[in-house]
Amino acid sequence: MGFLIGQTTGKITGTIKDSETNEALIGVNVIVQGTYSGAATDVDGAYYILNIKPGTYTLIIDMIGYKQVKMENVRISINRTSNINVDLVPTVIQGETVVVEVDAITARKDQTSTIKNISSDQIDKLPVENIGAIVGMQAGVVEGHFRGGRSNEVTYLIDGIQVDEVFGGGNAAVEIEPEVIQDLEIITGTFNAEYGKAMSGVVNAVTKDGTNKFQGSISTGFANYVTGNQDIFIGLDNSQINRNQDYKFQISGPIIKDKVHFFINTRLQDNKNHLNGLRRFNVTD
């Protein structure tokens, strides 16, 4: 279980101090809003919150005698540490809240490799149809080869589970849609031994979870190949707008609120492409 958690979650660390005396504050409550994760600062004012799923969160820092602070848009990525340091302002009146927009850079202290993390927000903006297209956009990756290595030297992980294609090993045995990904980690070059037999690169995808709100989306796409030539395959028609059809459906929500959630994503494609033919006879006749 520790192996899986280490490859699918991130963490938040930092130090809480008094803004006037610059002394470390002991026992400050640091809570990740909307989750059961949190921590209290130690004698050095430091705190550590581990095993946080990738995503964007609000961090609440609270202590009696100080203004409460809300750190918004805290980004958590796979195997990354977000360092959030806060100076609390003393106050007599309890209840005043200071809201801060976070623009922290996540880091990995033991990193010796080249790592690129792509969030779900970034994936939504990319004109891609599959994970392979996202991987191919990264520096050092050419047609599935990482830094000149063989394609079967790349390891593919989904939620920490290895999904390499066993026979050839050149790609993942399980394909998931980009809309399902919460965070995608692409490692090229050297990396730690936790990734097993990988030699050239690692593609580590963490999928989305359902929430307490029902959410859904549906999209369709139609396409055709248009040509000015008259000598084309029998049955092709420039006016046929639905020769290639693409349907996407996604829904998520709670089964038992705050405890059990579901997330469903499906895609149906019917692509006839630019070739067409009629079977007049069998070759064996």
Residue at 281 is within a domain: no
Domain of 84, in residue numbers: 2-107
Same domain, 58 and 122: no
pLDDT band at 44 (very low <50, low <70, confident <90, very high): very high
Across 35-51, b (16+ Cβ under 10 Å) vs e yields eebebebeeebebebee
Same domain, 102 and 119: no
How many structural domains are present in the chain? 3
C-alpha–C-alpha distance, residues 244 and 89, integer Å = 61
Residue at 174 is within a domain: yes
Residue 169's pLDDT is 58
Same domain, 235 and 199: no
Same domain, 119 and 176: yes
Residue 6's pLDDT is 47
pLDDT digits (tens, 9 = 90+) for 250-271: 999 999 888 888 999 988 988 8
Same domain, 101 and 119: no
Neighbours of 196 (CB within 10 A): 11
Same domain, 125 and 187: yes
Residue at 280 is within a domain: no
Same domain, 229 and 177: no
Torsion 191-192-195-199 (CA) sign: positive
CA 67 to chain CA centroid, Å, is 34
Residue 4's pLDDT is 47
Both tokens of residue 182? 């919460």
Strands 55-62 and 29-32: antiparallel
Same domain, 16 and 64: yes
For residue 120, give the H/E element and its range: helix 120-125
Same domain, 71 and 87: yes
C-alpha–C-alpha distance, residues 244 and 256, integer Å = 39
Same domain, 196 and 130: yes
Angle among Cα 172, 267, 52 to the nearest 5 degrees reads: 60
Both tokens of residue 266? 């499906």
Angle among Cα 108, 109, 115 to the nearest 5 degrees reads: 35
Residue at 278 is within a domain: no
136: left (phi over 0), alpha (psi -120 to 50) or beta: alpha
C-alpha–C-alpha distance, residues 225 and 237, integer Å = 9
Residue 3's pLDDT is 44
pLDDT digits (tens, 9 = 90+) for 46-98: 999 998 988 889 999 998 888 889 988 888 888 888 889 999 988 876 556 66
Q: Burial of 224 by CB count in 10 Å (0-12 exposed, 13-18 middle, 19+ buried)?
A: middle
Residue at 285 is within a domain: no
Same domain, 151 and 97: no
- How large is the C-alpha radius of gyration of the chain? 25
Pick the last residue of a domain from 107, 137, 166. Answer: 107
Same domain, 236 and 188: no
Q: How much is the average pLDDT of 153-181?
A: 79
User: Domain containing 41 — which CATH number?
Assistant: 2.60.40.1120
Residue at 283 is within a domain: no
What are the C-alpha distances in Å from 8 to residues 140, 161, 219, 225?
Answer: 23, 10, 29, 41
Residue at 276 is within a domain: no
Pick the last residue of a domain from 90, 107, 124. Answer: 107
C-alpha–C-alpha distance, residues 2 and 36, integer Å = 19
Q: Is the pLDDT score of 129 beyond 90?
A: no
Residue 60's pLDDT is 92
Pick the last residue of a domain from 49, 83, 107. Answer: 107
Residue at 284 is within a domain: no
C-alpha–C-alpha distance, residues 88 and 100, integer Å = 12
- Among 70, 77, 81, smallest CA distance to 14 is for 81
